[in-house]
A and B are shown apart, each in its own frame.
Chain A
Amino acid sequence: MGGTGGGPLVDRMGRPSGGPREAAAWDDRRAFLVNLRAVGGRAYPRLIGQSREPSWLLFEILLPLLSTFSFVFVYRALQAPEEYVGFVVLGGAMTAFWVNVVWMMAAQLYWERDSGNLELYFTAPIGMMSILLGMALGGLVATSIRAAVVLLVGTALFGVTYSVSSWAALVAVFLLTLVALYGLGMLLASLFLMWGREAYHLAQLLTEPVYFLGGMYAPLRALGPLAALSVALIPLAVGLDAIRQLAFTGPTAVGVLPVPAEVAILIVMCIVFVAAARYALHRLEWMARREGRLTVRGR
């Protein structure tokens, strides 16, 4: 890494330092404020970019809405019970968050390297998690709009009726799912960068296969033994299964595990993914400085 590999970093007293943050020697308050500004700064171009180019309204909201509706019509063609239509609508809404995590977060550091920003991130005295959080928040606006539109239009157009047993539990499960998802996204961002050129292929691998294993358009229990694997590994799968159990009643809404068990799994996933992401990002920074290879373009 050209920028940081030239010589040892020193703090303000001229002593050797482990990295830009240590060299800056800021107190906790200042470090927090700087990281907060980094979050805002990284979210800013995404928000502004969207406002300057409204084509995303068509391509990221309207067209994916039609794509989701395809699966509604599959159920209509099969004359399936109406609950399945509701499953598709919920799955389509949650898909938006997964797409955001994979394309706008996991693969993003790899593309940031190609565009030359990555070495700036490593040399700045801010945490990589702040950068990734900024990306997430910047993309979350469009993603949330997309999810809301799929949910509202799908519900209105196909007459989906929900019977929510506990709104508080539903909101809690949804938020836990988001934290686990974005934690996984941060972890994947560092892994994608370490694995080299394969970001696009890896991102592709995490779309349809995850839609299938995550039960996006069919109840998770339809996967049989594979469902256990999904619940153990994919936060979207376990979150969506719990959300469906809380939003619908009847025999079709029976999940793989009871809701409390799935909530417990989600909590574990949140802790594990966020901690693993933190470790992986620290490791990434260390490798970038020590080996100087991570910011070499074209790897």
Chain B
Amino acid sequence: MTTRAARAGDAPTVGPATVGPVRPVPPRIPGDPAEVPGASIGSALRSAATGARLGWAIESNWSDPLLFTIYSVARPVAAALIVVAMVVVVTGAREPSVIAYFIVGTALWNFVGGGIVGLVFSVLDDRERYRMLKYVFLSPASLLPVLLGRASARILISAFGAAITLLVGIVLLGVRIDPTGIGWPLLAVSSALGFVAIGAIGVAMGGLCLQLRQEAWSYPEAVSGALYLVSGAVFPIDVLPPALQAIALCTPLTWWLEGSRRALLGVATPTILAAYSDTAVVAALAVTSVAWAAAGLATYSFFVRRARDRGLIDQLTSS
């Protein structure tokens, strides 16, 4: 800790005129709640709430309401329609049960995009654009709750996009989702664990983007796109090569989508995933989510330490 602080130029100085036994003063790492008197879960929650209010203001209040609404609706619906167009052009028909599989997958994927993009853009926006990140580090607030709060605004928009996509599927494409037939407990558990996993990926990416240039704007989309493949978001993982199938089974997003699909549609995805009971799906989701959350937090901590050590917190990288 001392070495780290000294490298950051933040070590306390004790002058030669100091009289009497020198009591070592613990070095303070700005932004580290463990080093701030009074830092607590309550202050972390306040930071998250402030971050959420700020995030929502940036996302909505500072935008043109019409454009904001169009953007919130058009993008997720278009993402779903891409896949629907592929299905229609091949099968020549709109079989509701087939369409339902794709609609639910693309609707839920909004949360993945929103969660990862929200966390990464909070870092990049605050560093490169608003240039406030250094002040968050200098303040007693911890960065992580602020980032999670900022990202919650985008997750809320994603929820809106997911709902609109499902609505388009139900109203225009004949998808049948009966509210009385939804497995609400399974949906609630799957969603809670799935959001932990999404948050973990976003937090790790946010830490990574502290090291990168401004061009990292596009990186969350790239990560989300790659996970789209290995999670079987819009196709059963049976069609993947065996190596990718193994990766899919270790990915919490695969289990989250499967649990949510079972809860919403009442049917399991064919072949590989159908062999697992609902309980097994939830257990696999829990294990993989906890493992990914631990890995995500460790990655974030490593990258934040590295960014401090190398003076990357306030770098501007416009190119």
Contact = CB atoms under 8 A, between A and B. Distances in A.
Interface of A: 45-46, 48-49, 53, 55-56, 59-60, 62-64, 66-67, 69-71, 73-81, 84, 99, 103-104, 111-112, 114-115, 117, 196-198, 201-202, 204-205, 207-209, 211-213, 216-219, 222-223
A163 B234 CA distance: 30
A70 B86 contact: no
B14 interface: no
Contacts of B238: 77
Contacts of B318: 111-112, 115, 117
A56 B214 contact: no
Given A70-B233, A76-B239, A78-B86, 5 more contacts: A59-B219, A73-B235, A74-B234, A75-B90, A205-B67
Contacts of A208: 74-76, 78-79, 82
A79 to B, nearest CB: 8
Nearest to B208: A55
Contact of A67 (B64, B229, B235): B229
Given A198-B63, A212-B78, A212-B85, A59 B222 contact: yes
Interface string B234-254: 111011100000000000000
B218 A70 contact: no
A59 B228 contact: no
B82 A211 contact: yes
21 contacts: A49-B213, A49-B317, A49-B319, A53-B212, A55-B219, A64-B222, A66-B228, A67-B228, A74-B234, A77-B235, A77-B236, A115-B316, A205-B70, A205-B75, A209-B75, A212-B81, A213-B78, A217-B86, A218-B85, A219-B89, A222-B88
Contacts of B228: 66-67, 70
A64 B224 CA distance: 9
Given A46-B319, A115-B316, A201-B67, A222 B89 contact: yes
B: contact size bracket: 35 or more
A36 B302 CA distance: 44
Given A49-B317, A198-B64, A212 B82 contact: yes
A49 B226 contact: no
Q: Is the interface of A mostly helix, strand, loop or mixed?
A: helix
B87 interface: yes
Interface core residue of B87, B89, B233, B317 (most chain A CB under 10 Å): B89
Nearest to A70: B229
Contacts of A219: 89
